[in-house]
Structure 1
Amino acid sequence: MKVLLTATVQSHICQFHKPLVEVLHENGCEVHVAAKNNLAEKNGLKLDFVEKVYDVPFSRSPKSKDNLKAYKILKRIIDNGNYDVIHCNTPMGGIVTRLAAGQARKQGTKVYYTAHGFHFYKGAPKKNWMIFYPIEKIFARKTDKLITITKEDYKLAKSKFSCEVEYIHGVGCNTQKISIMSEQEKAVLRKRIGMSEETKILLNIGELLPNKNQKTAVLAMKKIVEKVPDSHLFIAGNGSEKGNLEKLITENHLENKITLLGYTTQINSYLNICDVLVACSYREGLPLNLMEAMLCGKPIVASDNRGHRELVKNGVSGYIVNPNNSEEFSDKICDILTGKKDYRKIALETVLPFTDVNVKKELARVYEIKA
């Protein structure tokens, strides 16, 4: 079987689809990728695990003329590729790919689309339902299998869309990537970054973008340091909000309590030494950083959205709170930092279905091949 994976950017394939490629290779499949090359921006990511890579100038913006160029290039690739399956991802990658694959589909090629989180969901703005819901419903007719990664999306698509709908537990959290450090190793790392063994460490991971809403975590630290003076927040990620966050940190005199790490390849180390993962985003599909934290046995305080609700058992493995309520965030974080509850077993049991080991079995079922 010959498979083409598409997405708006190549880093998406690197970060989220290695388990799928492994399953396909185990079954003797040839895998190609068509996406925009953005790997220079992503330190450490390599797309070296597929047979062929095409640089296609997709744009995330529906208004960009680059998507017309992408369509023409992709159509040539598809028309000459003789693919058995074309598996598309991301909103614009999915739309452009399904348009370009129209003729191939008539000739027997199967088209799959993974919805990493519909823009319309419980609590979403009305304009999202007015714009994105009709688009997804129309393009479902150009899809043989729609793969959803949250139960909310699955139920909606199953009842409303005219194609086969599958549910899997995300894209598969990489169990090989996460290694658990010894207490001695943690102590050495804490000392290296200037944190004592008594310091309570909070961690936030994600691009510095308005949707990720790191400002709530910053504001929460104002009250946290009153209750837990020896605490520190690390924020990992780059993005357009960096300047605004730096200003907010300075205005609230938190320069010695919050560190912006930028993009880092040392996430595993910070996950090992943190006491709680904080996630404040307004919208998520199914975030890997939460899964990775849970593999390390960490509790989570997360904003109330569909992806977080899928992973965090409120009051059990952590807390779900209002994304705009920094006081509620601070209260729940302090509850964890000052409490004696051991979250390790709960976190691990919760995340097991979302690991690459299990998701590879689910992907094999979708592709109707051996796990």
Structure 2
Amino acid sequence: MRAVIVTNRVKRYVNGFKSMIEPLIELGYEVVWAADFTQFKEDLSTIPCKIHQTNFRSNPFDPNNITAYSQLLELLRQEPVDLIHCNTPIGGLIGRLCAKHAKVKKILYTAHGFHFYTGAPIINQTLFKWGEKYLARNTDILLTINQEDFKAATNFKFRKDGKLCLIHGAGINTGYISNSNRDKIREEIGIPASAIMVFSAGELNQNKNNRVIIEGLAKINNPEVYYVLCGEGKLRKDLEELSEKLGVSNQVKFLGFRTDVLDILSAADIFAMPSFREGLPRSLMEAMDAGLPCIVSNIRGNSDLIEEGKGGFLLSPKDVLGYAKVIEKLAIDTGLRRNFGALNKEKVKDFDFKNVKSEIKTIYKSLM
């Protein structure tokens, strides 16, 4: 039996890929992974399957995607393929079109976050939704990772006997975060041991909406509350200037790109994710596993993980005063932080990599 995994650009062999590839190998499939490996930062020999360089680009108008279509179609026509599992919007589009033309027996697609989410622009609600509905007709199993996407796809029409599934995301390794180095890490990044540390991780862009936390911090007017950001992005300079303008630059720490995010999480007191759009955010799950209370925007993905008043707070992405109030509330209430953190640490166990891998393996088995 032969299976092909389709993803976009790959930098590391992480859990999201392992949860698809390893179950197929265990079930006896010969696996080929079609993706763009030009920026892979590890040893390619660590990948336990064949790889096929495919020039996928996330921009749908990039001409490389025309090349990617040809590259993937050639792979699928070399010899019969029993199963193809597509990921990302571009991989889902090109992969399913190629699979149809190559007469692949079983076609799966994991939606890591539909573009026609609640509050999305009109073009997303029309063109992208129509596109997903059309492609669903060439899909045997559609996997979703949050409740909103699952509900949105309930009226899709699939291939004969096709079905819709909800899984627990890509999976994280739970139970590995320790706060034993808390003081050392705080000293390294310049946070006093007695201070309250609010933490965010991710690209510094418009969607991540970090400015609302900086603005909230200014309203609190408490020099003992710090905001630490891990990540790079085009808005870094703007956020630094905003911090300076609001008089909180001494309390906002920009750490840039870091490979030790889990260690830094262990030194935090509160996690913040005020994004406008998410699928099922891994960084939020990691914060839950670290036992942190979480203040997040009330959007899909976030609301799958955090329940209002149980593990954290859900707010509108633009509610500056709301974020200020809940940061202040958690900052002064050690018991509440501890209770929320314990709830999160228990809830996130369902999203452990081993559980996700088992879910996907069961789905693969159903197609054999």
Could you say which residue in structure 2 is the equivalent of 1:159? 155
Paired residue secondary structure (2:72): helix
Match of 1:192 among 188, 198, 202: 188
Deviations 1:261-285 (A, max 9, x none): 1111111111111101100110100
Q: Are 1:205 and 2:201 counterparts?
A: yes
Distance in 1, Cα, partners of 2:246 & 2:314: 25
Which of 329, 333, 338 matches 1:335? 329
- In the alignment, is the contact (CA less than 8 A) between 1:281 and 1:303 conserved in 2? yes
Deviates more, 1:324-333 or 1:31-40: 31-40
Which amino acid is the alignment partner of residue 324 of structure 1? K
2:363 match: 366
Which residue of structure 1 aligns with residue 5 of structure 2?
5
Q: CA deviation at 1:348?
A: 1.7
8 Å contact from structure 1 (residues 39, 46) kept in 2: no
- 1:369 to partner: Cα distance: 6.9
Deviations 1:133-190 (A, max 9, x none): 10000000111111011122112212233342111111111237x33232xx222222
CA deviations 1:173-230 (Å, max 9, x no partner) are: 1237x33232xx2222222333222011111111122111112122122123x1x321
Number of residue-to-residue matches in the alignment? 361
1:315-334 CA-to-partner distances (Å, cap 9, x unmatched) read 11000001011221111111
Task: Describe the shift of the 1:47–1:276 C-alpha distance in structure 2 as closer, same or farther (beyond 3 A).
Answer: farther
Letter in 2 for 1:112: L
**Match of 1:27?**
27
Aligned to 2:60: 62
Give the superposition deviation at 1:293.
Answer: 0.7
Match of 2:167 in 1: 168
In 2, the alpha carbon distance for the partners of 1:187 and 1:204 equals 19
Give the equivalent residue in structure 1 for 2:14. 14
Q: How does 1:254-273 map to 2 (within 5 A)?
A: 254-273=248-267
In structure 2, the gaps of 5 or more residues are: none
Task: Please give the root-mean-square deviation of Cα atoms over the aligned residues, in Å.
Answer: 2.2
**Aligned CA distance change for structure 1 residues 213 and 161 (closer, same or farther; 3 Å):** farther
Name the structure 2 match of 1:36: 36
Query: Residues 282-328 of structure 1: CA distance to partner in whole angstroms, max 9, x if unpaired?
Result: 01000001111111111100011111111101111000001011221
1:96 equivalent among 94, 97, 112: 94
Distance 1:81 1:267, change over 3 A: farther
1:289 equivalent to 2:283? Answer yes
CA distance, structure 1, for counterparts of residue 172 and residue 45 of structure 2? 18
Preserved contact between residue 12 and residue 42 of structure 2 (Cα < 8 Å):
no
Deviations 1:61-91 (A, max 9, x none): 2222111111011111121153321111111
Determine helix, strand or coil for the equivalent of 1:269. Answer: helix
TM value normalised by structure 1: 0.91
3-state SS of the aligned residue for 1:212?
A: coil
Matched, 1:71 2:69: yes
Deviations 1:25-56 (A, max 9, x none): 3334333221223536xx67978323222221
Unaligned 5+ segments in structure 1 are none
Aligned to 2:229: 235
2:7 is paired with a residue of what secondary structure? strand
Cα distance in 1 for partners of 2:45, 2:136 equals 29
| Conserved? CA contact 1:19–1:360, under 8 Å | yes
Give, as a single letter, the amino acid of the residue that structure 2 aligns with 1:116: H
Q: Does 1:355 align with 2:352?
A: yes
TM-score by length of 2: 0.91
Aligned to 2:319: 325
Q: 1:46 to 1:353 in 2, by over 3 A?
A: farther
Identity within the alignment, %: 33
Amino acid at match of 1:270: I
- Find the counterpart in structure 2 of residue 179 from structure 1: 177
